[in-house]
Amino acid sequence: MHAHPDHTPPAPVSLRSAFWYWLKLGCISFGGPAGQIAMMHAELVEKRRWISERRFLHALNYCMLLPGPEATQLAIYIGWLLHRTRGGLIAGLLFLLPSLLLMMVLSWIYMAYGHVGAIAGVLYGVKPAVVALVLAAAWRLGRRTLRTPGLQLVGAVSSLALAVLQLPFPLIVLGAAVLGAAGGYLLPAQFHASSTSHGGKPSHGQALIDDDTPTPEHARFAWPRLLLTSLLGVALVVLGWLLLAWLGGRERPLAQMAVFFSKAALLTFGGAYAVLPYLHQGAVEHYHWLVSAQMMDGLALGETTPGPLIMIVAFIGFVGAWGQAVFGEQLLLAGVCGALVAAWFTFLPSFIFILAGAPLVEATRGNLHLDAPLNAVSAAVVGVIASLALFFGQHVFRLEQAVAHWDWLAMAITVAASVALIKYQTGTIKLLLACAIFGLVLSYLP
């Protein structure tokens, strides 16, 4: 039975209720950033009505502009809007912790028993499914974002800029924002498309934080708060690095990881899929903490865990510290410390960006001058994700890197998985489980 929109706002949300929701989300948020954002939208906008669609999308657009994982930042933002700083901390930590703990367990199994044929078989089935998940993410995000020919052109150009010209992602984002700003004045119909997918109708009823709800006291912008929060965040980063350098030396892997993952958090935009080439370049080619095959295995493991896909940094930290034997024979301790260092320096900036900058974001609601650049940036992100699907496909489908030998069975798995995801809306868990079983069965065939 379909209910009519409820014009009375829901009751205020207690911190306890929010705690259990964020914990549940952290445990079930599979499907990468697109899936996690869709899950939050369905639960928080449509079902619970904690926040209106327009305010949800306003927050999301800014999180997509920031470096780092946008789904994590969106959770921190909504948690902060509802329950101040402690709400943001609870939302962000509970969104991350289940994924971090599970990734450390899987990394340990991989390093201790990774050469077992059954595990190799499972990964063989899962990796082509990962390519399909990236393609499906681009498709779903594209349907919501590329609503006009102008935005479609921005997406296509961005894809080519990364895949062919190999331009850095920050430059692509900046170019898209400039193009969107210019297009907003010259061709407003192409860049000022409506940001809602429901024709602008408030189909979910009145929300607790609705379109016209006044900004809460804690969410109002103030320079002293911005400076204090920023300084505290920078101090936590610097003190963390100084502690690692003092304990093990500046040239040791853990201190190097602190610097590398801090850069990754600050210099990379567009979520996990856009960060991965940078992580590959640094961790594999520059520092040699792991090899390309391990990187793809880590990506496959990352897709099988809840939480943000960028949690692959914990895998890189675990494998790198284990392989470098940073604590001698204590390999498990080394791996755990490597994973914790990678996670701390990757995700701390996300908390700082939201807790320091979100009041400024709230103050810009309704600013039409920002609408066109944000739409163009969203279109660029779709193009980048599509080009990254090709990047991953080259690594998964090529049997030998030096010779053009292609794995047609892996390609067939990707095609079948893409159809299942896009046409039949198959859940991520079911799909990965099916592909894992298929790969396992293949590993036992002669």
Q: For 395-405, how does the pLDDT look when each residue is reduced to its tens digit (9 = 90+)?
A: 788 765 555 57
H or E element that contains 403: strand 403-406
Task: Please state the rounded mean pLDDT for residues 48-76.
Answer: 85
Q: What is the pLDDT of residue 126?
A: 83
Percent of the chain with pLDDT strictly greater than 90: 33
pLDDT reading at 313 higher than 90 = yes
Does residue 326 belong to any structural domain of this protein? Answer: yes
Domain around 267: 101-194+222-444
Q: What is the pLDDT of residue 1?
A: 42
Does residue 340 belong to any structural domain of this protein? Answer: yes
Percent of the chain with pLDDT strictly greater than 70: 89
Q: What is the pLDDT of residue 50?
A: 93
Q: What is the pLDDT of residue 221?
A: 85
Does residue 304 belong to any structural domain of this protein? Answer: yes
Does residue 165 belong to any structural domain of this protein? Answer: yes
Chain mean pLDDT for the chain: 84
pLDDT reading at 421 higher than 70 = yes
Q: Each residue of 177-216: pLDDT tens digit?
A: 899 888 888 888 888 765 444 444 445 678 888 877 888 8
Residue pair 320/290 in contact by the 8 Å Cβ criterion: yes
Q: Each residue of 16-46: pLDDT tens digit?
A: 999 999 998 898 776 567 668 878 888 898 8
Does residue 52 belong to any structural domain of this protein? Answer: no
Side-chain half-sphere exposure of 115, counting CA atoms within 13 A: 1
Nearest alpha carbon to residue 351 among 100, 75, 104: 75
Does residue 76 belong to any structural domain of this protein? Answer: no
| Least confident stretch, 106-120, 171-185, 270-284, 403-417 | 270-284
Question: CA 87 to CA 83: how far, in whole Å?
Answer: 4
Q: What is the pTM of this model?
A: 0.75
Write down the H helix ranges in 114-218: 117-145, 149-163, 169-186, 188-191
Q: Which amino acid belongs to residue 376?
A: A
Nearest alpha carbon to residue 354 among 41, 59, 15: 59
Task: Please state the rounded mean pLDDT for residues 147-172.
Answer: 84
pLDDT band at 349 (very low <50, low <70, confident <90, very high): very high
Residue pair 301/315 in contact by the 8 Å Cβ criterion: yes
Q: What is the pLDDT of residue 58?
A: 81
pLDDT band at 334 (very low <50, low <70, confident <90, very high): very high
Q: What is the pLDDT of residue 198?
A: 40
pLDDT reading at 105 higher than 80 = yes
Structure tokens at 110: 């991989």
319 versus 41: the higher-pLDDT residue is 319
Structural domain count, the chain = 1
Q: What is the pLDDT of residue 166?
A: 76
Does residue 39 belong to any structural domain of this protein? Answer: no
pLDDT reading at 314 higher than 90 = yes
Long-range contacts of the stretch 237-243 (C-beta < 8 A, 24+): 237/262, 237/345, 237/348, 237/349, 240/344, 240/345, 240/348, 241/345
Does residue 64 belong to any structural domain of this protein? Answer: no
pLDDT reading at 357 higher than 50 = yes
pLDDT reading at 261 higher than 60 = yes
